Amino acid sequence: MAEPAPMWTVLVLPIVLGGLALFAASLNGVLTAVASGRRATLAEWAEPLRASARLLVRQRRTTFRADVVLRRVGIAGIVVAALLASVPTPLGGVAVADLPVGVVWFNAMEILLWALVWLTGWGGNSAFSLVGGYRFLAQALAYELPLMFALTAPPLAADSLRVGAIVQAQQDVWFALWMPLAFLVYLIGIVGVAFWGPLSPPAAADVAGGVTAELSGADRLVFLAGRYLMLAAGAAFAVPLFLGGGQGPLLPAWLWSLLKMAAVLAVLVWLRRFSLVRAERLMSWGWLVLLPVVLLQVLVVGVVVLLRG
């Protein structure tokens, strides 16, 4: 697994991740259409592309005395963080870089959103977008620790922080099967990282769109793209971590990876049907339910590893 990845993988990563993000946006549009009684036509699937074109030609709105630098860092940074987070994610057997601490690397890149989302909210010099930024931090405090512990379970079982080794360790049984709670908590954490669905109060309608309130034109496009990219990066990383990477019959490994990534992403997008969770309730659930559950899960994994010798 230690062979250096070819250079072309650097070009493939944005294409694959961008494709997944576009798939998520399209699926979201189709689900909206179906929910409002329309048919899921091809035009509905292509809606994100049309919306992107509209945003690109629209002029950027600026707010009074906005901190433009911080805001731009926040907006563009999310795209960068999502791409960097996916560096150790293998497609089939090939990752851009199978880092020795791939799992910690993903965690570190994903946590950059703490700063970036807040900066986007702060930079606009607008009350609602600032409220959105603070909401993200409040939520992050609730989901981040359970997410971190969920991330420790697969490396514990595989005895390595290297993503390639974690895939190798799942040749007999996928980790999702014997550590389902860690898998579940991981998915909840990713929903939080991308402030998606039930965990989207940072960008909710009750605060006029929160962090997205003052974003328009290209700014809005880049920010929303970054959010879908982050959701896609989280879904993609679940595949080597819990779903056996590219393992599967008949089809080539890269196709299996892609199919599994799309499936996980579809489930995450579908979660939008659940209603918003308030930050303080999420805090209760996060620390009273998710955290003990995931600690027990890690304990079980630890005992199994010890018994297996």
Partner 1 sequence: MWEVIAFWVLAVLAVASGIAVFRVDSMARATFLLLASFLFVAGEMLVLELHYLGALTVLMMTAEMAIMAVFMIMFMMNPAGLEPMEMVHNKRGALVISVAVFVALTAAALVVPWPERAAPHPSDATHQLGEAIMRDKMLVMMVVGVGLFATMVAATLLATARGRYGEHAAPSRPEPSPHAHAHHHHAGGDR
Interface residues toward partner 1, by CB under 8 A? 65, 67, 69-70, 73, 99-101, 104-105, 107-109, 111-112, 114-115, 118-119, 122, 125, 134, 137, 140-141, 144, 160-161, 278, 280-281, 284, 287-288, 291, 295
Residue 39 Cβ vs partner 1, minimum distance, rounded to whole Å = 39
Q: Which is nearer to partner 1, 16 or 291 (CB)?
A: 291
Residue 288 Cβ vs partner 1, minimum distance, rounded to whole Å = 7
Q: Which is nearer to partner 1, 265 or 279 (CB)?
A: 279
Q: Which is nearer to partner 1, 33 or 181 (CB)?
A: 181
Residues pairing with 91 in the sheet:
94
Residue 241 Cβ vs partner 1, minimum distance, rounded to whole Å = 16
Q: Which is nearer to partner 1, 141 or 218 (CB)?
A: 141
Torsion of CA 17, 268, 192, 98, to 10 degrees: -40
| Residue 263: burial class (beta carbons within 10 Å; 0-12, 13-18, 19+) | middle
For residue 264, CA distances in Å to 5, 24, 104, 188 come to 25, 10, 21, 12
Q: Which is nearer to partner 1, 118 or 183 (CB)?
A: 118
Residue 87 Cβ vs partner 1, minimum distance, rounded to whole Å = 11
Q: Please identify which residue in the block is written with the tokens 């303080």.
A: 280
Q: How many Å is the Cα radius of gyration of the chain?
A: 19
Helix 217-242 × helix 127-158 angle, to 10°: 20
Residue 253 Cβ vs partner 1, minimum distance, rounded to whole Å = 25
The rounded Cα 283 to chain-centroid distance in angstroms is: 20
Q: Which of 168, 169, 113 is nearest to 304 (CA)?
A: 169
Q: Which helix (H) or strand (E) holds 28?
A: helix 8-35
Q: Which is nearer to partner 1, 100 or 248 (CB)?
A: 100
Residue 293 Cβ vs partner 1, minimum distance, rounded to whole Å = 13
Residue 252 Cβ vs partner 1, minimum distance, rounded to whole Å = 30
Question: Would you tell me how many other CB atoms lie within 10 Å of the CB of residue 171?
Answer: 10
Q: What are 6's two structure tokens?
A: 């070819």
Q: Which is nearer to partner 1, 26 or 98 (CB)?
A: 98
Torsion of CA 36, 39, 41, 45, to 10 degrees: 30
Q: Which is nearer to partner 1, 40 or 101 (CB)?
A: 101
Residue 105 Cβ vs partner 1, minimum distance, rounded to whole Å = 5
CA dihedral over 235, 238, 239, 243, signed as positive or negative: negative
For residue 273, CA distances in Å to 28, 121, 276, 277 come to 10, 25, 9, 12
